[in-house]
Amino acid sequence: GDSVTQMEGPVTLSEEAFLTINCTYTATGYPSLFWYVQYPGEGLQLLLKATKADDKGSNKGFEATYRKETTSFHLEKGSVQVSDSAVYFCALLGNTGGFKTIFGAGTRLFVKA
Amino acid sequence: DGGITQSPKYLFRKEGQNVTLSCEQNLNHDAMYWYRQDPGQGLRLIYYSQIVNDFQKGDIAEGYSVSREKKESFPLTVTSAQKNPTAFYLCASSPDFGNSPLHFGNGTRLTVT
């Protein structure tokens, strides 16, 4: 079945450092891919999305590119802030059989001032 | 502002008691979902509803029940049959099923002792 694997955390960075959180997926067909963010004590919020190969999703300085050849959707940000500290979830929405959103385990990010 | 309201934020129950978690949305979304989140794990789908008066089991439905009598409401009952009910429960909705990103509430943390 469909699955999402993302790098284990926690990831600890200093303010203004470059961020990469790796995400790879397994799916039949052509899924849509998402990054969600969860701040402490809250639900998840959609951060960005991409619906087809080579699409780049971007929002609030975060970017991720849908790479079908490597089945990847890595999250990047050029300069992180303390306020980016949160848990980041990679997810896919398949378009064959089930049509359910599948989430990775989440990666916790700590940004130090 | 439109959104999803989950109440209460914290809930405490004794083992052997059933408990119902509330989820209300004013986004006019057709589809609604319940997820369970445990530390270090991704989100696992409990139940989902594509439309009023219809719902299906997700991946971990045992020990849970739902109803969808109104478009805006999707309450989840955690029964005494659920072996390990202590968790963070997230309700979500989407305009339609299988074709859109999810909107989440802020969750209910259930502790059963």
Which residue in this structure is represented by tokens 């049959």? B81
* A110, A85 contact by CB (below 8 A): yes
For residues A98, B84, A40, A103, the Cα torsion angle rounded to the nearest 10 degrees is -20
pLDDT at B46: 97
Q: How confident is the model at residue B2 (pLDDT cuts 50, 70, 90)?
A: confident
Tell me which residue in B48, B99, B101 faces A34 most closely, judged by beta carbons.
Answer: B101
pLDDT 10s digits, A17-47: 999 999 999 998 889 999 999 999 899 999 9
Tell me which residue in A4, A43, A89 faces B107 most closely, judged by beta carbons.
Answer: A43
pLDDT 10s digits, B59-112: 999 999 999 999 999 999 999 999 999 999 999 999 988 889 999 999 999 999
DSSP B71: T
With a cut of 90, say whether residue B40 has pLDDT above it: no
Chain A: residue nearest B48 by CA?
A: A100
B56 reaches A (C-beta below 8 A): no
pLDDT 10s digits, A61-94: 999 999 999 999 999 999 999 999 999 999 999 8
pLDDT at A97: 59
With a cut of 90, say whether residue B30 has pLDDT above it: yes
A4 reaches B (C-beta below 8 A): yes
With a cut of 70, say whether residue A57 has pLDDT above it: yes
DSSP B62: T
pLDDT at A59: 97
Q: If residue A50 lies in a helix (H) or strand (E), which one and from where to where?
A: strand A44-50
pLDDT at B97: 84
